Amino acid sequence: VASGGVIKCKAAVAWEPGKPLTIQDVDVAPPKVHEVRIKIVATGVCHTDWEYLYESGKGMKSRPFPLVLGHEAAGIVESVGPEVTKFSPGDKVIPLFLPQCGECERCRSPKTNQCRKNWANMQLGVMADGTSRISYKNQQLYQFLGVSSFSQYTVVPDTSLTKIRCDAPLDKVCLLGCGVSTGYGAAVKTAKVEKDSSCAVFGLGAVGLAAVMGCQVAGAKRIIGVDINPDKFEKARVFGATECINPRDHEKAIQEVLVEKTGGGVDYALECVGSPVIMNAALESTAEAWGTCVIAGWTETETMNIMVEKILMGRTLKGTYFGGWKSVEDVPKLVDDYMNKKLKLDEFITHNLTLDQINVAFDLLKSGKSIRTVISL
């Protein structure tokens, strides 16, 4: 309900690290200059949300609490702040944790998608003016990655939002706000997987399955899924995996198994876990002379140790963030690809829950029982 511009609504609040989320009635302030207030219709639950809550400070830098998590979502514009020209109330939109201002040096370069508009503030959970738009009893609640989609309403900068076609189902395309775009882009945009090549994908969660899908769309001949949870294998085959391997079924290290299986290593390896040990295994599973390993799994604080020779002899190791897509311009195209059946989304969704079941969604994710839970708000 709007009163004096402030909207009262429900949000799942993370009060402190390691504690389950609690549903609270929060206040969402009206948008300021170059900001847009959106009604969140659907949000995915991503491993990064879980990791930030339960492993804050381990593989991730600490960010301030209390905060509202959630960064993979879709919604409808409720109102726009001053000087906003690209959005109007009623537009269907996807909020973006990676902005695209279109004006900076990085946005003007075709080589990267790494725009840094409002970046430092967004990482700290605040808007351009240094404050958040969500509060509980006058206490500021930080906005995770500047998004906070575990709230019925949120406010984002107009450079961290993209307008999508009006016939797109929001409870499906929300997945393009993070996981699916990341994995799919890791294969087709960052690795640039070639037709008839061989690929290995490490980690068969949402990002990994999207990478498998990308390899298939690119025409790879052999797509090997790797995961210690064999329950993921059936799903991986749906997305195009030609075979799946559980490292625990083998005495030898997984990289040796893959090199043997492929007669010298795969052309492309995609790491979709965020573990330095697995990153090394992925790199070493690629063909010595031309193998490419792309890291899509997210860790902010951990270190890789690599034997120089593993790179010296011709391998390439590269990273990807949000799949290499320029967020504002590419996400609507990915929505089009889904609508035109070039891209799968429905198959990622294993559970549909409501906001008050958010902790159940985290449990499903952690236990490996879900790929993606979509929360309807």
Buried b (16+ CB within 10 A) or exposed e, 280-309: bbbbbbbbeeebbbbbbbbbeeeeeeeeee
Q: Which of 169, 28, 145 is nearest to 92 (CA)?
A: 169
Per-residue model confidence (pLDDT) at position 61: 78
Nearest to 176 by CA among 153, 206, 219, 146: 206
DSSP letter at 344? -
Query: DSSP state, 176?
Result: G
Closest CA to 67 of 104, 12, 18, 112: 12
What residues form DSSP beta bridges with 128?
Answer: none
Q: Give the residue from 138, 56, 65, 69 showing the smallest Cα distance to 97.
A: 69
pLDDT for the residue 56: 76
Vertex 322: Cα angle to 316 and 327 (nearest 5): 125
**φ, ψ at 95 (rounded to 5°):** -70, 155
| Domains of the chain: residue spans and CATH | 7-177+345-376 (3.90.180.10), 182-321 (3.40.50.720)
Distance CA 62, CA 67 (A): 12
Asked if residue 324 lies in contact with residue 305, where contact means CB atoms within 8 angstroms, the answer is no
Sheet holding 198-202, edge to edge: 243-245, 222-226, 198-202, 268-271, 292-295, 316-319
- E strand intervals along the chain: 2-3, 6-13, 22-28, 35-44, 67-68, 73-80, 92-95, 134-136, 139-143, 153-157, 161-163, 198-202, 222-226, 243-245, 268-271, 292-295, 316-319, 349-354, 372-376
Q: What is the pLDDT of residue 143?
A: 97
pTM of the model as a whole: 0.95
Six token digits for residue 69: 């998590």
Residues ≥6 apart with Cβ < 8 Å to 357: 375
| DSSP letter assigned to residue 257 | H
Backbone angles phi, psi at 151, to 5 degrees: -140, 145
Residue type, 139: Q
Q: What is the pLDDT of residue 3?
A: 43
- Residues 337 and 217: beta-carbon distance below 8 Å: no
Q: Which is it for strands 73-80 and 35-44: parallel, antiparallel or unpaired?
A: antiparallel
> Angle at CA 61, nearest 5°, toward 58 and 67?
105
Q: Give the other-Cβ count within 10 Å of 87's Cβ.
A: 19
pLDDT profile of the chain (377 residues), mean per 10: 76 96 98 97 95 82 91 97 96 98 97 95 95 97 97 98 98 98 98 98 97 98 98 97 98 98 98 96 97 93 92 96 98 98 97 98 94 97
pLDDT at residue 2, as a whole number:
45
